[in-house]
Structure 1
Amino acid sequence: MGDRLGYIAFGEDELYARGALFSALRLLHFCPDAKIKVLTDRPKIFSGYPVETIELTAARMREMSFGDRYLFGIKAAGIIQLLQDCDRLFFMDTDMYTVGDISRCFKKISPTHSVMRKCEGRPKKEYRSLAGKGLKLGDQVLTGEEPMWNSGVLGVHSANIPALTDAYHAIERMIGVVKVHTPEQFCIGIALSQGGRSISGHWLPIRNYNTRGRKLFARQRIDAFFQRIGQLGVREQAEQAARYRVWRAPTDLFMQRGIWHF
């Protein structure tokens, strides 16, 4: 079935879909042979681009999010869906974008090894509420002391669909116990570390705008980008995207000096 690069873009804020398209255009510049698939509730945004889309309906999103109880359940279930149509998947959040060739991303992905963005170490104190609850992921009883891997980037082999499915089921049980937004990545990291499997950081030329200040700046820049390139062909758009700056220069940081969280 081959290898795929994937995104999941949904929600009322159009930035997620436009961010995925901007990231995909940069991918197409640095990796012209990339095969890209996007799971999205806004497939029209990707119309006319060499990007395969799978439409997310409102009913499907309710199901994936456990009846709208946990938004990131859509991401966990969506990764499984994307992986069903390929051998290896390299997934990025919509606020991730390449600054160079990442075509070697698949070399480290195997049935026994996955890549994720980074290990964040011990999870937040809210996870201590798992202790003594007997909540399991597979055969492992969770204690809340397990290391947290960041899932903004995830490279995984289709042989691990059962492990990801175990993680998804554990997420549903966990969201009633741990009152934070990260059970999705917590459970995925644990599942992909079980049974002799391992995880490492990706170490690829990928940047992000996943903090408040970065996102505010990137939103303005991405909106302006799509306003100015609408009449260009896909190849020209990809070239423009590769040269287009969405990270902040010192003057931009100064203009955002009133924001506490950069």
Structure 2
Amino acid sequence: MRDIFGYIAYGENELYHRGALLSALKLLYHCPEAKIIVATDRPELFVDYPMETLLLTDLQKEAWSFSGQYHFGIKARALIKLLRMTDRLIFMDSDHYPAGFLSHTFEGISPKHSVMRRLEKPHKWTPVLEGEGLRIGEHVITGREPMWQSGILGLHRDNLPALMDAYPPMLAVHQISKIDAAEQFCIGIALSLGGRTISPHKLKIRDYNTRGKKAFAEPRVHRFFDAYAAEPVARQIVEAGRYRMWRTPVDIIRQKLKARG
């Protein structure tokens, strides 16, 4: 059984690439035997580290983003590429990072069961999809399906057809409902069809995917590599494992006071 942890990092924002790398280093601290693949358009940033890379070309990104109309299509198609390279995949967005051992979670992933970050509240925009005739496989989208958040995904290779079915309607879902979350909406539906189930993850994973968390974490990501990028990889893994990315109550108060001027 080939179990892989996956990341996707592309684009001009350095934070996405460095965030994925720092998360992967933290993962290696907590799970030294972890096998990691990073789908990226900048493989040179990862070449000196104990992880594989999957090149995302400009041609692929143009095609997968529906000619630039919906860039989260790149994530959806890169997930398909990653899943083809493994039997079971645990994927994290680059603004998520491990805070403990994770490898045991592979045992809960099966052809009939997937893991996603969490079940979100119903979205008021998606009901406009009713009557549009959009399909995921044989399922006609009603717009009232559950919305699962895809910052964390645990998938079995047998669900490749489900991911393939989820991709084509994403652009229309995005354009009609005006939501950027079309990718996760379609993936969540696809993974719930045919008797399949999804559960929220119970992994020791933190994130900085809100405005306040990101404002605190971004400079710390860059400071980590400013301090340790020239060090041996083994040292970087140790330092990453104990490097704080989360805010203390004092940090939050300071942010609020700064925002007030």
Equivalents in 1 of 2:120, 2:114: separation in Å? Answer: 16
Per the alignment, residue 235 of structure 1 pairs with 234
The DSSP-based 3-state class of the residue aligned with 1:48 is coil
- TM superposition shift of 1:75: 0.5
Q: Is the 8 A contact 2:11 2:41 kept in 1?
A: yes
The DSSP-based 3-state class of the residue aligned with 1:203 is coil
Structure 2: tracts of 5 or more residues without a match = none
Matched, 1:29 2:29: yes
Aligned residues: 259
Matched, 1:200 2:208: no
Please give the root-mean-square deviation of Cα atoms over the aligned residues, in Å: 1.3
Q: Is the 8 A contact 1:73 1:184 kept in 2?
A: yes
Identity %: 52
- TM superposition shift of 1:259: 7.8
- TM superposition shift of 1:125: 1.4
The DSSP-based 3-state class of the residue aligned with 2:8 is strand
Structure 1: tracts of 5 or more residues without a match = none
Letter in 2 for 1:154: L
Q: What is the TM-score when the length of structure 2 is the normalising length?
A: 0.96
Which runs of structure 2 are paired with 1:1-262 in the superposition (5 Å)?
A: 2-122=2-122, 124-257=123-256
Q: Is the 8 A contact 2:174 2:181 kept in 1?
A: no
- TM superposition shift of 1:231: 2.7
Equivalents in 1 of 2:158, 2:55: separation in Å? Answer: 24
Letter in 2 for 1:68: G
Letter in 1 for 2:107: K
Equivalents in 1 of 2:144, 2:232: separation in Å? Answer: 50
Q: 4+ residue stretches of structure 1 with deviation over 4 A? A: none
Letter in 2 for 1:211: T
Equivalents in 2 of 1:47, 1:255: separation in Å? Answer: 38
The DSSP-based 3-state class of the residue aligned with 2:169 is helix
- TM superposition shift of 1:43: 1.0
Q: Deviations over 1:118-146 (max 9, x none)?
A: 11132x21112101112111111111111
Equivalents in 2 of 1:134, 1:224: separation in Å? Answer: 49
Equivalents in 2 of 1:134, 1:47: separation in Å? Answer: 45
The DSSP-based 3-state class of the residue aligned with 2:104 is helix
Q: Is the 8 A contact 2:7 2:38 kept in 1?
A: yes
The DSSP-based 3-state class of the residue aligned with 1:61 is helix
Q: Is the 8 A contact 1:213 1:259 kept in 2?
A: no
Letter in 2 for 1:251: V
